Structure 1
Amino acid sequence: MEFTQLTLAITISIIISALLTAACLQSMKLIPDIKYPVNEYRSISGARGLAAFFVYVNHAPSMLTNMGYTVPGVSQWGWIYANLGSFGVQIFFCITGFLFFDRIIKCDGKLDWNRFYESRIRRIAPLFYFVCIIYLVIVFVSNMSLHIDKHDMLTISGLITFGFIDSSMTIGGFKLYPLNSVIWTLIHEWRFYFVLPLIAYTYCNKKYGMPLLVVAVAIAVVDFKNSAVVCWPYFLTGIVVAILANRKYNLSKTVKYLMAALALACFVVTSGIMVDNGYHWSRFILSSVFFACIVLANPFYMHFKPMRYLGEISYSVYLLHLPVLYLSIKAIGTFVDISNLSQNEYWLIMVMIAPVVVLVSSLSFRFIEYRYMKKK
């Protein structure tokens, strides 16, 4: 494993900066206090909040390279920043699989699918398309023109369809990758939503449900062996953990403490492990064990209110942190020479931008996301 004082200091300071900002905004009641019906899964919200800022930590140093800057010593912070990025995405996938299969279990597969897909569209689309408008505004300001050709139309089509239509993601020669390099995960989310009715049907069929789950695990093993980046098994992890959680095992305090400690151990190993592929089978095991322990043990350290606050705004953080990073670096670049920044100076800038991301995400949650949510 690889840990240095500097990489740990950078990562921890960014997370603390975000948590302190969340605590301040929470005391100001900037966003509504949402009452969730499944309070026994409070640790899920805390995990979601951390996952969102793990992705921020991932993109903080790589943003310079994506924007075309060459800053020696800044573009790489060691393995921890890359590991946390993939770890955050994997936890998001596990949470998705868990929450929706948990719902299927509780209603015995009898979901109102029209209402389900309407709620998913209302939850995901408004903010996503708002952020796409931000992309177009940045392109227009950068190029001062919008001469649209067929390649640009293909990119716009790709944005409208959440990335399902493959394109170069360029408009007028402007590469959108520094702004939207996270949207590839939405494709996997929508694919899971599309197959969820089949999963529900399989679950209700007691004769074939368990054998098909075993087959899915076998396919996952083969896929990890033959594919470079494998994402769908993380939804499978969520499904398996949902099944275990609904068995209502009466775990002793000692077992829960041991599971909480195991979750922390998995996190430490994941953060410092040196692997070329963040979606390798070994990472899948670490992420899956971490997620299972967090849900089943429900450790107290995941109930920290600022973490749960970040969990509420995590979708906004996920989509908006890249535009905020991009615009912030552009603005700072008008006053200082970005290429001459030292690692410590750039680190300080990233710590200062983190509260901006939390504030902007809080506002987008309150005025965009929350308007379309139907949580009681």
Structure 2
Amino acid sequence: MRKRISELDSLRGLAALTVLFGHILNTFPPLPKVLLYSPFRIFWAGHEAVILFFMLSGFVLTLPFLKTEKVNYGLYLVKRILRIYIPYVIAIFVSLSIMKVFKRGTQADIRWIQNFWQKEFSFSDLINHLLLISDFNTDAVDPVIWSLVHEMRISIIFPFVVLLVLKSRWYQSLLLAILLSTTGALISFSGLDVSQGYLTSYAHTIHYTAFFIVGSLLAINKEFIVEIFNKFSLKIQLLILVSGICIYSLQTGLGYFLRIETGLFFREWFIVVGAGLLIVVSISAKWASVFLSKKPIKFLGEISYSLYLYHLPILIATLYALHDFIPQPIIYIISLPVIFGVSTLSFKIVEKSSIRYGQALSKKWNKKKANTTKGIKGTVNH
């Protein structure tokens, strides 16, 4: 089981890298449509990567529920907060410091980037960022954190969702996911949404809960999926991989032809199908395991969360600071080592500490539980 999680971590790392590439490309003139609406999009598919993150979270968070009938909710929540919140808060304060130093009221004409860091960061902005689960403007400091708002909200309720999924048949859980997604879309476009129009809309959280459920279903049926997949020939396995890449990437082209307001909600289900196939290949194929176990790919998996948190503030800062002095491509050559260096330090110093503390809490709770059980048995025997 641990081996498979390692492979999914590598998949998450590759997805985080596409977010970075996607944000770099956002600062350039739009790509030709022949590239924009092609499977090559997988190399810079940032939004698709976020949907994949949601599914991977659903997958990984379900695994402990498959090992035991009872999961301590308080311990689960503390570990989840330690895993997400502590690195996040430190990244926010680091990003605030970077913003204060480098924005300096710049008017640099840089496509897409020039929309950020143009407003003063207020005390209410700070409170919203520290709360994380409220509806607020996540573009103020580190624009990528909108997904963490949904991640944290869903994480809080996820144990109850998993219990429901475990008690239901797979098609009932899938219908629940579709119902949640549809409900989120209807609320969002019916005028009933109480959110302020930010990416942290509560209606979107309802919608994204569906993707956690799909990830959970993949985890629950993991052994069956692996068994079936490995009965296929190598050609069929490769065809599944190619199909996953195409479906995952081509939803943007589909969106070009879908001129309806709910298009994004609909298109994201194509991402889910494609991402699901990529997850299936990652957990099943031996040749995929060999690739995902290579050191550079595993390294990406290790630093993926920090890479996601820090890449955009550093990218914005270097562009603002150097745009008037050196060519833009050279700025990326300078910023990339900084991004990976800071991400590595964050992983080793902050993330590892949070993970170790969470593991220590788990061991302490399990030991306490074992001693209590032993005491009860001893009393009965006496």
Q: Give the TM-score taking structure 2 as reference length.
A: 0.70
How far is 1:334 from its partner? Answer: 4.6
- Equivalent residue of 2:254, what SS? coil
- Counterpart contact for 1:157–1:165, Cα < 8 Å: no
Question: Structure 1 stretch 212-221 or stretch 235-244: which is displaced more?
Answer: 212-221
For 2:340 and 2:100, the matched residues in 1 are separated by 26
2:311 maps to 1:321: yes
Instruction: Choose which of 47, 50, 54 in structure 2 pairs with 1:89.
Output: 50
- Counterpart contact for 2:99–2:313, Cα < 8 Å: no
Match of 1:103 in 2: 64
2:348 maps to 1:366: yes
Task: State the AA in 2 paired with 1:126.
Answer: I
Instruction: Choose which of 339, 353, 362 in structure 2 pairs with 1:357.
Output: 339
Match of 1:263 in 2: 241
How far is 1:313 from its partner? Answer: 0.6
2:23 maps to 1:56: no
- Counterpart contact for 2:12–2:53, Cα < 8 Å: yes
Give the number of the structure whose alpha-carbon radius of gyration is greater. 2
Match of 2:9 in 1: 45
Match of 1:190 in 2: 152
Supply the RMSD in Å over aligned alpha carbons. Answer: 3.4
Q: Which has the higher helix share?
A: 2
What is the correspondence of 1:278-293 to structure 2 with a 5 Å cutoff? 279=265, 280=267, 281-293=269-281
Match of 2:292 in 1: 302
- Equivalent residue of 1:182, what SS? helix
Structure 1 residue runs without a partner (length 5+): 1-36, 65-70, 170-174, 339-345
For 2:242 and 2:32, the matched residues in 1 are separated by 28
2:143 maps to 1:181: yes
Match of 2:114 in 1: none
Question: Structure 1 stretch 324-333 or stretch 209-218: which is displaced more?
Answer: 209-218
More RCO (CA 8 Å, sep 6+): 1
Count of aligned positions: 311
For 1:46 and 1:103, the matched residues in 2 are separated by 20
Q: Give the TM-score taking structure 1 as reference length.
A: 0.71
Structure 2 residue runs without a partner (length 5+): 106-118, 190-203, 256-262, 361-382
Task: State the AA in 2 paired with 1:275.
Answer: L
Match of 1:165 in 2: 134
Q: Deviations over 1:123-149 (max 9, x none)?
A: 12222111211232234335779xxx9
For 1:165 and 1:268, the matched residues in 2 are separated by 35
Instruction: Choose which of 123, 129, 133 in structure 2 pairs with 1:153.
Output: 123
- Counterpart contact for 1:49–1:307, Cα < 8 Å: yes
Instruction: Choose which of 78, 84, 87 in structure 1 pairs with 2:36.
Output: 78
Structure 1 residues 296, 181: closer, same or farther in 2, change over 3 A?
A: same
How far is 1:57 from its partner? Answer: 1.2
- Counterpart contact for 1:313–1:365, Cα < 8 Å: yes
